[in-house]
Amino acid sequence: MILCIDAGNTNIKYGIFDGDELVASFRVATELNRTSDQYGTAIIDMLAIKGITADNIDGAIISSVVPSLNYTIAHMCSAYLGVEPLVVGAGLKTEHNLRVDNAREVGADRIVNDVAAIKKYGAPLIVIDFGTATTFNVINEQCEFIGGAIAPGIRGSVESLASGTAKLPRVEIETPKSAIGKNTTTNMQSGIVFGFAGLVDYIVKKIKRELKHPHVRVVATGGFSEIIAHEISCIDIVDKLLTLQGLKYVYDLNTEVRK
């Protein structure tokens, strides 16, 4: 069994693969002050709920956009699971060319999303991840990442509204029945859901025009991908497992190389 870990700014997602099958997944809040022991005891407990022990884990791989957590998570893997994890970054084989000004600036999560999307759906593609930030990855016909766009994340936008104003509350992110809200909650839901749907639709159209390839497929992942995809026609595929599957592909690629 292989443990795949996606450490994001808001959550850390875990996926356990038995061969190519994802047999368990869970997430915890990202907390920078947690120690490797705290993360370790938490993952042992979560594995136990799924009927998995530390001895069942044969390897691990980490993608992280939180550099200060890298040592903590890696040490957790070695101390509690007995495996030395691979870390997506310089020196790790991905077979994914980055045709941008500075490849080191590209987040590990964006790379593994691309790897999985290309393997599953071919190219060209636009890969959208609705995470802490909303990222758009553009992949050309040669399967190269040629750039994209980064917009604010949906949850962060709601938090910004609530914390930056005296009277606006924190609301559940769900689609209201009408664009014309009748109270503060539905006003905010309308602005967030339909506003982000419009943002995504416009950016995708702009990218397609610049690519001169109007039929490029659009793949969406992340927590709010289904909500936004329901409102616009430009998203062709919603794939919530993209990041974890990308990590598994990269793990397999590098362990095969080592063999």
- Active centre residues (catalytic): 109
Three-state SS across 166-227?
A: CCCCCCCCCCCCCCCCCCHHHHHHHHHHHHHHHHHHHHHHHHHHHHCCCCCEEEEEECCHHH
146 Cα distance to chain centroid: 19
Euclidean distance between CA atoms 77 and 227, whole angstroms? 34
Q: Which of 8, 106, 103 is nearest to 64 (CA)?
A: 8
Provide the token pair at 36: 């490797």
The CA angle 259-82-44, to the nearest 5 degrees, is: 130
Angle between helices 154-164 and 184-211 (to 10 degrees): 140
Alpha-carbon dihedral of residues 257, 90, 104, 94, nearest 10 degrees?
10
Element (H, E) at 256: helix 242-258
